[in-house]
Amino acid sequence: MLLAVDVGNTNTVLGVFRDRELIANWRLTTARDQTIDEYGILTRDLFTIAKLDPHEISGVIISSVVPPLNSTLAGMAERYFHTQALFVEPGIRTGMPVHYDNPQEVGADRIVNSVAAYEKYGGPCIVVDFGTAINFDVVSERGEYLGGTLAPGIGISAEALFSRAARLWRVEIRDPGKIIGTNTAQSMQAGLFYGFTDLVDGILARIKSVLGKDARVIATGGQASLIAQASRHIQQVDEFLTLEGLQLIWERNQPARHPAMAAEKTPIASTVRAGARSARKRES
């Protein structure tokens, strides 16, 4: 079995795969000050609740945008699962060319999502990931990572509103059913829900004007289902896109399963046209 860990600024998502099947998953608050043992004990407890045997874990892959946690998670993998964690970082094989001015600036989660989206839905495609930030990631028809757009997330924008305005309070972020609120709570909900829906649709419309109107749009992350219900452009909500991308990248880094890719170094921070061509040949 494979343990896949996606570490975000707000939440950490864990998934367990048996072959390609996701058999368990959990969403936790990202805790930057937890120790190796605290993470290890928590993870083992989750396994116990799900009636999974930790000794069956043969690999751990981690995508992290919180660098201070990397050494802790690496230690957790070694101490509690007796394996060396594979991090999505420069030097890993992804099978996706990265066209970015400085490819090392691209967050690991953005590459993982793009790999999964292209594998599942083809290209061109756009991934919208609703997290601490809202990431828009663009993949070409040939499976190249072209770049994207970053915007503030709904949660942090709402927190800024609540904390900076003395007479406003926290409200549930949801569709109030009308754009003209008749009380303060409805007015805030309308601004957050319709404001971010139009932000997302506006950016997607601009990206499609460059990429092509037929580009498929896939949403993932915490508020994906909420915004997708009112969006004109989001076609698919894929809750486990990042975990599935981690599983795919894990496979692509196993020499026994992918000898052609193992023979060629395919760093995340470089263009890997030959690797992509080899993958297409095997599929044909």
Residue 69 gets which letter from DSSP?
A: G
CB 28 within 8 A of CB 47: no
How many C-beta atoms lie closer than 10 Å to residue 202's C-beta?
11
Residue 98 gets which letter from DSSP?
A: B
HSE, side-chain direction, 13 A CA sphere, residue 269:
11
Beta-bridge partners for 63? 6
Alpha helix segments (H runs only) across the chain: 36-49, 70-81, 108-121, 154-164, 184-211, 224-228, 241-252, 259-263, 273-283
Q: Is 198 a catalytic residue?
A: no
Beta-bridge partners for 28? 12
| Residue tagged active-site, from 6, 33, 109, 238 | 109
Contacts of 119 (CB under 8 A, 6+ apart): 245, 248
Query: At CB < 8 A and 24+ separation, what contacts does 129-133 make?
Result: 129/219, 129/220, 129/221, 129/224, 129/242, 130/154, 130/219, 130/220, 130/221, 130/222, 130/223, 130/224, 130/227, 131/8, 131/9, 131/10, 131/11, 131/221, 131/222, 132/8, 132/9, 132/10, 132/156, 133/9
User: What residues act catalytically?
Assistant: 109
